[in-house]
Structure 1
């Protein structure tokens, strides 16, 4: 109760002698510090907005231009305003109140400002034109042509100094719209290995008809949108692929990231939570101040779009009957924590500052020590976020739109992020690699189906034995954005460190108010909806087959020694592994963040060249080395096209959306978009290599992350290349499909990996990967 009284700023009582006012100075002090903190953040945001708005110029550049201009005109005895002030004086009586010198100063400032803005616009447009050139992607790894070197010099010259995270947003080019003819041609090329002659002839006829008749009309609207919108794909992609989906987002959309593979910093659950949460809040502070460095390609000179960082924190997906929405708050000072069926609101600031790791640990200890029971319906409440979206939307409107239930739900949805103090133990066990990692992956992907808030931008899961992981919602951003945060958290853990007893460094706070237990009033009717959603979620979770294994027989080092692309090599090996079933339409995620507000594009990895190589491997033909080289070159060219806006699938998707708006049916587009992706793949990029010295500390490797299968009869494959001798694979499928067995497929792939040692002693394969290549 003492903690509750501290939250009251003043109390008063009415007596015969008048009003007796009692002020709580500590509470008033906290109010003052909180307001001061908020105004500081507003000022920082305003300053960053100005700095970003004038980039690649700067306020210092403004002073230099204005002073230089006025000094030149003073030396030449010229009117710096070029007669502007005199002309204004004919209409506005400014000359009466200003001396001649004052008029010269004002005129000089006005004209100097105009000159400064003109210089900024010229630099910005020149930079945008330079960044629209992608010839540098043809350069082989480790060597740059003269034209690329000159281009890099010009990019650096027009890029300005000390850019912040969002500095390049106005200088990035717009995503181009490919021609209908080129997209149809590349589409037919991509499906040729998957169709017999009769099927291919039929699809070719549909394509030609679309290209001649409906396609140009749809393309006109798409071109119009590309001129008006910042990106002609991203808003429709977010709405129709993610937010309008009515199925569960657990497994089907959300993805996970794992802890260190071999290192276990502490077994104290609250301590691991203390360091992790503090690291995340430090990252958020850097993000609020735009102090995170932009992400670059090619010698840290080619910037990528940073728009997806904007909604990382204080964000939640809000269910709707027909479509969901994304709710983002500018600021949130608390987090939401779940433990053994109870929800808690934990403030992250006290005394006008961020809580220290030991103080956060103190708050987690209080939650772990709380023996209170969940209120009726509270324990499994989060199952609503794991089931179908429409029942959740209706339940939210009926049972959580007013009263204390609304306040409790707001505490979760407006939290910076969500934390689960899990009551199970997960960890990589060297004596039982397969079972331990499979259990760990399934726990992060879906848990108990009611102990993660799947609608939050991301959940941090801290297990009972100190292991941790992450589960992220997909609609607001793609995996590399969350991966950048996760790399920061993992790299900070050894720096913050722990005591010999496993606790965070520092001292507990004697006056720190405890966490606030959320009090729900969940009706019997709502509890029925919760149980119904939980039934759907459990059926989905029980059907997921996850298999993870660290592959260390060889890795990037050996593949590069044969002078070929590691990513192309792995993608071709995946086709080789999957061929024991059949060739299938294959999805590899590629980023399009070379363009403003770009997200992803699809690389259709199953090509004619890859199929030729796979058949040669199966038949043990002597030409397989040459065919591998041809297949790798083809894959890298497909990747370049996807990265530079010349992909297939996003263009066809947007054409389909336009056709629906116009009420036009296209047999070609309908068939294209109904084709299942039975093999969905993605590489998890290690973006901040400088944070992890894997040569000196090979134990600091992560297990990477993964996702569920996209098709009921398909596989979801994620892989992360770590150092020169380790590749971690995550494969998921469904038990209900007789055609998919994750463990058998991965074992087969690794066996083929080991047998297919094409590279040894060859020395003739070329690496055609674009410099600084990253994955979505």
Structure 2
């Protein structure tokens, strides 16, 4: 085989005259180039670490400080107030240096120490500045003098040309809210969900907890907040994600879709070639820290970028009691799944990335390969879709040695996982409803064995050129994968492009090694376990009812004419739709981010409020006038915006209560209040997918290049999961999930209620739709 021959650096034969070595110059060249690339990457990481470590100063500023100090010495002025002389007295090398040399070295050491002191001072001031969040609570479009002055200082101390992780050390720690404030906000959030007797009982439980147990738990939590970078994130990752023993498919993983109306090429391997190359270009930017630091949209305020680190070369490893996240510094290959076979595809050759045309030929070779799956290979990935403990036991028993260990190692160390589907998905104009629903379900769970659900993400390319991905949730939140996805779609369509026949552009290196089949030796006992995991996963997948639809009647543009927040508008519409759907209110989860703080992840906005429920009741009451309803809507919208701001600035409810509960478990004490709070089901779980790089898409001149967004599975057995993305000025895409087995839910029925609620609320404003 050609690839096997090229992998050998030299051959030798034994002759009567001795050993004859036959060196392969091409193989040695590839070894040299690969090593050169590795060393370049190590040096680049070292340089980036230093630049980030001294931010907001720059390495060149050290030279400026040194020259300034040396200049003052030359002018016979001592800016160190005697410290240079003290350093000179204690120099260990003084006997080897002249008097002038000692003076220069002492001044150099003082200048360096002064430079580091200035860096720490600037960083401390910037951290204090970023701890101010008063700007978030000001009226939209109006900025106070205090905020203007604050922004000026932020610009001064933010430094120039920041890299991806430059702001990390300057971000403030997430504050621990006060117990009294959290109890008050919690009781306020559950008031519309309880009758008077239930609320009185819960108030008594909360008061008892606040006075007796809470102060002790709070003390430990504050101690952790002083010591750790973030008092929530590590426990959130471990207890919410990694310790879960149920399948992560549907229950945790989420998906992202392609463009809604456009497919840049119908050639599957060409689309795979361009998009995989675009993903690898993005990975290179992450590795080199060339991405701009994440910021609050439309501002200079930095957000935490820590989650980007594990986007690639990352795998969730199953354990008996808890999983772990394994991140590798680098990976030179991807793993491709097609018709039950696993292939290793190298993404480097000659020290460079494969270009799109070369990747297209690699994928075409896989499609042309007519070999059959090995016993147990086709449905092997079902292990990652089933119960976690089952997978952990199987991994320990059947994948710890020999061929299986090496093959599993290839999968887990891959940059990411790719699936070449043999079916077609996407929007079909003749059947838009069912086609989008099927597309969503395919990305969410597929066949339950054609995605490696443990990888940071599985990239899916369908037969008709449509693409999508399925992302594992523990390593990061959706905005991180969303940022990559925006960049990939834009790079594919607007930078790389295709030739007239729909194939990738570029030339192919003739010595390119071909993809390699990954070999497995899966016993019959292991195959039975795989089948059992598949049965569990298929039962879960078959129970998912999904409805994805574009709402095109109006969007952000018209909502802004109502002088209200688009997110608040949609969230209140969801409350109205849910009440019409079920005839009752429910505990509602809206995801908000806490990345204004170091290592921040998410917080919950409890969207079902007293104000929103009062508005919904007015909409259901025939006796209410539109003027009364509009007034109640504005109160509900203001309340929602306040809750969102509180969540973003560390004054949320749920992460605080969660961490108090974790501390109580470590201390071995039970709290009836915390136990009840954390067992309450989220029957309406919602999330907005933000568009973070609007500059990549010109929706005015190219309105067809709109994203369809992504979605997730239902959180509660009798509840709904709703994801939405606001695209441009005139489109909102919704993704609704629930369970077929629930008699209370129906995704299509709920979708109709959402459409009606949006129209009914807009009608209250009587805005000009032209």
Q: Which residue of 2 aligns with 1:67?
A: 67
Going from structure 1 to structure 2, the CA distance change for 1:303 and 1:91 (only over 3 Å counts) comes to closer
Q: Which residue of 1 aligns with 2:204?
A: 205
Alignment of 1:245-644 (within 5 A): 245-297=244-296, 299-494=298-493, 495-580=495-580, 581=582, 582-620=584-622, 621-622=624-625, 623-644=628-649
SS at match of 1:302: coil
Q: How far, CA to CA, are the matches of 2:526 and 2:632 in structure 1?
A: 60
Identify which range, 596-605 or 101-110, moves more after superposition. 101-110
Give, in angstroms, the shift of residue 3 of structure 1: 2.4
SS at match of 2:704: helix
Superposed CA offset, 1:300-330 (max 9, x none): 3100000000100000000000000000000
SS at match of 2:548: strand
Going from structure 1 to structure 2, the CA distance change for 1:723 and 1:298 (only over 3 Å counts) comes to closer
Going from structure 1 to structure 2, the CA distance change for 1:334 and 1:676 (only over 3 Å counts) comes to same
Q: How far, CA to CA, are the matches of 2:715 and 2:23 in structure 1?
A: 60
Q: Which residue of 2 aligns with 1:672?
A: 677
Q: How far, CA to CA, are the matches of 1:79 and 1:56 in structure 2?
A: 27
Superposed CA offset, 1:161-194 (max 9, x none): 0000100000000000001111011000000000
Q: How far, CA to CA, are the matches of 1:2 and 1:128 in structure 2?
A: 57
TM-score (norm 1): 0.97
Q: How far, CA to CA, are the matches of 1:698 and 1:79 in structure 2?
A: 66
Identify which range, 529-538 or 611-620, moves more after superposition. 611-620
Superposed CA offset, 1:69-114 (max 9, x none): 2102211x14576555654565555322111221121111111111
Q: How far, CA to CA, are the matches of 2:375 and 2:336 in structure 1?
A: 18
Q: How far, CA to CA, are the matches of 2:739 and 2:408 in structure 1?
A: 33
TM-score (norm 2): 0.98
Give, in angstroms, the shift of residue 282 of structure 1: 0.3
Q: How far, CA to CA, are the matches of 1:102 and 1:286 in structure 2?
A: 44
Identify which range, 296-305 or 105-114, moves more after superposition. 296-305
Give, in angstroms, the shift of residue 2 of structure 1: 2.7
Any gaps of 5 or more consecutive residues in structure 2? none
1:219 paired with 2:206, answer: no
1:696 paired with 2:695, answer: no
Q: Which residue of 1 aligns with 2:665?
A: 660
Q: How far, CA to CA, are the matches of 1:90 and 1:41 in structure 2?
A: 42
Root-mean-square deviation (Å): 1.2
Identify which range, 727-736 or 423-432, moves more after superposition. 423-432
Q: How far, CA to CA, are the matches of 2:88 and 2:174 in structure 1?
A: 47
Going from structure 1 to structure 2, the CA distance change for 1:560 and 1:87 (only over 3 Å counts) comes to closer
Superposed CA offset, 1:638-678 (max 9, x none): 00100000000000000000000000000000000000000
Q: How far, CA to CA, are the matches of 1:2 and 1:439 in structure 2?
A: 41
Q: How far, CA to CA, are the matches of 1:143 and 1:88 in structure 2?
A: 53
SS at match of 1:529: helix
Given that residues 222 and 655 in structure 1 are in contact (C-alpha distance below 8 angstroms), is that contact kept between their aligned partners in structure 2?
A: yes
Give, in angstroms, the shift of residue 379 of structure 1: 0.1
Give, in angstroms, the shift of residue 755 of structure 1: 3.0
Q: Which residue of 1 aligns with 2:715?
A: 710
Given that residues 2 and 513 in structure 2 are in contact (C-alpha distance below 8 angstroms), is that contact kept between their aligned partners in structure 1?
A: no
1:749 paired with 2:748, answer: no
1:237 paired with 2:270, answer: no
SS at match of 2:14: strand
Superposed CA offset, 1:534-555 (max 9, x none): 0000000000000011001111
Q: Which residue of 2 aligns with 1:35?
A: 35
